[in-house]
Chain A
C-alpha cells in the first residue's frame, strides 16, 4: 500500500515568510509524528498526534511553529516568520500504536531559508 507522503519535497523561502508543510500518513494509522533533521541538532521530535487526543507539542522549538491534523489524517506543519536556523529536513512519520511502536517515515521536506 501507499506509504507516508510529504509535500513539497523541497521548499526555498525568504527569511520572514511563513511556510506550510504537508504530511499524508498511511491510511488507518492513528498516530502521526513530526521530526526535524538538521546538521547541528540531528533528528529531533517536534510534535505528536494520536486520534482525537490533545497533541504532544513538547518538541516544538518556538511559538513560531504550529501543527494541526484534520480529520485524523492529513497534517500540516506551519512555520511563521521563518529564520535561517529553521533550515532543515522535516520528516513526518505515522504509526498504528495498538499493534506496534514502529514508525513509518515519509521522504521529508527539505526547507531552505535564505
Chain B
C-alpha cells in the first residue's frame, strides 16, 4: 500500500528564512506526488505536482520541491518565508488503482514569525 509521511506536525520559521517541509513516500510503482496548501477555513489549493520528467518542480508562490527516488522524498522548499505562507501543508501521492485517489500525509502547520 502507498503511504506518505510528513515529519514535523509544526514548523516555525522567521520571516525571510528558508522554509523546508519534509515528505517521504512509500510506493511500489512510480508515484505521482503533490503538495497542497490549506489556509484557515478553506479547501486545499494545489501548490505543485510531480508526474514524470524533471525532478525539480516549481509551483506557485515561490515554492518548489525535488523528487528524489533514492531517498523516496519530495520535500517542499521556499527560499524566503513570507507571513502569508502561514498555513497547513499536505503532501499526497496518488493511489495505485485507476481512481487516482489521493493518499495524504498528516500535514505540517507552518508558522511564520515576524
Residue B74 interfacial (CB < 8 Å): no
Give the distance to chain A from B50, nearest Cβ to Cβ, in Å.
11
Q: Choose one: B43, B45, B90, B106; the contact of A108 (CB below 8 Å).
A: B43
CB-contacts of A91-114 with B (<8 A)? 91, 93, 95, 97, 100-108
Chain A interface helix/strand/loop/mixed: strand
Contact in complex: B101, A48 (CB < 8 Å): yes
How far, in angstroms, from A93 to B99 measured CA to CA in the complex?
A: 13
Interface members, chain B 86-114 (any A CB < 8 Å): 90, 92, 94-95, 97, 99-107
Is B99 in contact with A43, judged by CB distance below 8 angstroms?
A: no
Does A106 lie within 8 Å of B43, measured CB to CB?
Answer: yes
Contact of B43 among A50, A91, A95, A102 (CB under 8 A): A91
For chain A, the bracket of interface size reads: 20 to 34
Minimum CB–CB distance for B8 against chain A, Å: 15
Q: With the chains together, A9 CA to B73 CA distance in Å?
A: 35
Chain B residues with CB below 8 A from A33, complex form: 99, 101-102
- Nearest-neighbour CB distance to chain B for A111, whole angstroms, equals 14
Partner of A45, one of B46, B51, B102, B106: B102
Can you pick out 15 interface pairs between chain A and chain B where the beta carbons lie within 8 Å of each other?
A31-B99, A31-B100, A33-B102, A42-B105, A42-B106, A43-B104, A48-B99, A50-B99, A56-B101, A91-B43, A93-B44, A101-B49, A102-B34, A102-B49, A108-B42
